[in-house]
Chains A and B, each alone.
Chain A
Amino acid sequence: MNQLNQIAKELLTSQKVKLVIGYGEGTDGRVRPVFVRKSEDASQLIWDDRCRQNLAVYLNKTEIREIGFPIAIVSLPATVRSIVQLIAEHQFQVEDVIPIVQEGANVTTIENKERLEQYAAANPVVFPPFVVEEIENIRNKSVEERFEYWQEELSRCFKCYACRAACPLCYCERCITDVNTPQWVCVPPHAIGTFEWHMNRAMHLAGRCVECGSCTIACPVGIPIGLLTMEATRIAREELGYEPGIKCDVPAALATFRPDDKESFIL
């Protein structure tokens, strides 16, 4: 992507940023995250259909932050949404991050709040067809069938927490699973332990998950784990009217309320 390399080179030469996070060539046709700090390395950056992972996860890492804000980051629509959501959650300021985005055939940077929110709203996350299919599939199942489905999928989970590590919105320095007084989540990956873990993760991401799919990509045993957090966000969207990743200053979905929140299920 020539425009991309040009932009990155300029950002680094002008010293506007000390770091550009993007995608580069990996092993055997894979794509890997790259961290460009010298302008001559800007040619390492690529951008094509293989680039699916959400790089915003690196914006939470201490070692990356220690390189110094502002950081430029090659951003898919989901990445921009993560960035907006992270700003809404006060993890960094708007001026700390410069997303490099695609707009039609062009590659540009976003350097102010209005453009950021505009881009996020104008570029909703589009699910690949197999995801749409799977969501339909589960929606058409009865409650018992859904139980069978998730028990089967989660039976392979061995609690490696790769889903958590890959998620840009799982940035807690001490996760609920790391607490043992009390032990909220059963340690072993038996049926109860995995059920509790994924239930907690989905609840903690309700109205925060930007549906990027990084968790599913990271899972070493092939569980479509993103479907759970996506469902939590869908509920927040449809029942609570809450859309994550669109506005830079909204309060958290589950930390606020509306007096008229739906309550048809309450006696």
Chain B
Amino acid sequence: MENESFEPKIVAFVCNWCTYAGADLTGTSRIKYATNVRIIRFPCTGRIDYNLILKAFERGADGVIVSGCHPNDCHYTSGNFHARRRWIVFRGLLEYMGIDPRRIIFSWVSAAEGAKWADVVNRAVTEVRQLGPAKEFNEMRKSQAFEFRSV
């Protein structure tokens, strides 16, 4: 499959108070950006379980964006700090087990950073398009008894 014609599926796990609002601003500012992303809204990045990121890949995502409030700006004070620690370990473990960590893009995007959100998405899409489809997960999926289909 030619990389140029491959359109990656990206799932974005974002926090409600900053990045989700920021993404709204991107829209109201009429900034165009890549359409490959499906956004899932969480109250806080601290709520994002790494298992959910794994499930996204298992259900067909080629890349994942995880984005929240800047450190010290978390609506729940410290959710993003806890999340950051978790991501440091998760990323390292994924790499150790043979999954390219460049498939997961982490960012801090505040409610005022509409332009940055567009930037983050565009970067993610370019990066993942270059990496190609998530063949590691495709391979692993083959051994399942049945295929999960999207709900």
Interface residues of A (CB under 8 A from B): 138, 143-151, 184-186, 188, 190-192, 195-196, 198-200, 202-203, 206-207, 228, 231-232, 235-236, 239-240, 253-257, 259, 261-263, 265-267
In the complex, the answer to whether A267 meets B84 with C-beta atoms within 8 Å is: no
Taken residue by residue from 32 to 64, chain B's Cβ proximity to chain A (1 for < 8 Å, 0 otherwise) reads as: 000000000000000001110010001000000
Whole-angstrom distance from the CB of B26 to the nearest CB of chain A?
Answer: 15
In the complex, the answer to whether A192 meets B143 with C-beta atoms within 8 Å is: yes
In the complex, the answer to whether A235 meets B89 with C-beta atoms within 8 Å is: yes
B112 contacts the other chain (CB 8 A):
no
In the complex, the answer to whether B106 meets A261 with C-beta atoms within 8 Å is: no
Question: Which single residue of chain B is at the shortest CB-CB distance from A145?
Answer: B98
In the complex, the answer to whether A267 meets B105 with C-beta atoms within 8 Å is: yes
Question: Which single residue of chain B is at the shortest CB-CB distance from A176?
Answer: B51
Question: Which chain B residues numbered 88 to 104 have a C-beta less than 8 Å away from chain A?
Answer: 88-101
Instruction: Collect the chain A residues with CB atoms within 8 Å of residue B91's CB.
Output: 265
Q: Of B51, B98, B139, which one neighbours A184 at CB under 8 angstroms?
A: B51
10 A-B pairs whose Cβ atoms sit less than 8 Å apart in the complex: A145-B98, A147-B136, A149-B98, A190-B143, A192-B58, A200-B51, A232-B93, A254-B89, A257-B84, A263-B88
Instruction: Collect the chain A residues with CB atoms within 8 Å of residue B89's CB.
Output: 203, 206-207, 232, 235-236, 239-240, 254
Cα A206 to Cα B91 in complex, Å, equals 12
Interface of B is mostly: helix
In the complex, the answer to whether B54 meets A196 with C-beta atoms within 8 Å is: yes
B71 contacts the other chain (CB 8 A):
yes
In the complex, the answer to whether B140 meets A191 with C-beta atoms within 8 Å is: yes
B120 contacts the other chain (CB 8 A):
yes
In the complex, the answer to whether A254 meets B86 with C-beta atoms within 8 Å is: yes
Instruction: Collect the chain A residues with CB atoms within 8 Å of residue B143's CB.
Output: 190-192
Instruction: Collect the chain B residues with CB atoms within 8 Å of residue A236's CB.
Output: 89
B145 contacts the other chain (CB 8 A):
yes
Whole-angstrom distance from the CB of A108 to the nearest CB of chain B?
Answer: 36
**6 tightest Cβ-Cβ pairs between the two chains A and B:** A147-B98, A191-B140, A267-B107, A146-B98, A257-B81, A235-B92
In the complex, the answer to whether A257 meets B97 with C-beta atoms within 8 Å is: no
In the complex, the answer to whether A235 meets B93 with C-beta atoms within 8 Å is: yes
Cα A226 to Cα B123 in complex, Å, equals 36
Q: A148-B98, A254-B89, A263-B71 are in contact. List 9 more A-B contacts (CB 8 A).
A: A144-B98, A146-B95, A151-B139, A203-B90, A206-B93, A228-B93, A257-B84, A261-B84, A267-B107
Question: Which single residue of chain B is at the shortest CB-CB distance from A194?
Answer: B140
Instruction: Collect the chain B residues with CB atoms within 8 Å of residue A231's CB.
Output: 92-93, 96
In the complex, the answer to whether B82 meets A257 with C-beta atoms within 8 Å is: yes
B149 contacts the other chain (CB 8 A):
no
Q: Of A150, A192, A200, A259, which one neighbours B141 at CB under 8 angstroms?
A: A192
In the complex, the answer to whether B99 meets A202 with C-beta atoms within 8 Å is: no
In the complex, the answer to whether A266 meets B106 with C-beta atoms within 8 Å is: yes
Whole-angstrom distance from the CB of A166 to the nearest CB of chain B?
Answer: 21
Cα A128 to Cα B145 in complex, Å, equals 40
Question: Which chain B residues numbered 110 to 129 have a C-beta less than 8 Å away from chain A?
Answer: 120, 123
Cα A254 to Cα B106 in complex, Å, equals 18
In the complex, the answer to whether A259 meets B98 with C-beta atoms within 8 Å is: no
Known contacts A143-B98, A192-B144; A257 and B92 CB within 8 A of each other? no
Cα A147 to Cα B92 in complex, Å, equals 14
In the complex, the answer to whether A199 meets B84 with C-beta atoms within 8 Å is: no
Question: Which single residue of chain A is at the shortest CB-CB distance from B119?
Answer: A267
Question: Which single residue of chain B is at the shortest CB-CB distance from A229?
Answer: B93
In the complex, the answer to whether B85 meets A266 with C-beta atoms within 8 Å is: no
Cα A243 to Cα B43 in complex, Å, equals 32
Cα A262 to Cα B142 in complex, Å, equals 36
Instruction: Collect the chain B residues with CB atoms within 8 Å of residue A239's CB.
Output: 88-89, 92
In the complex, the answer to whether B145 meets A150 with C-beta atoms within 8 Å is: no
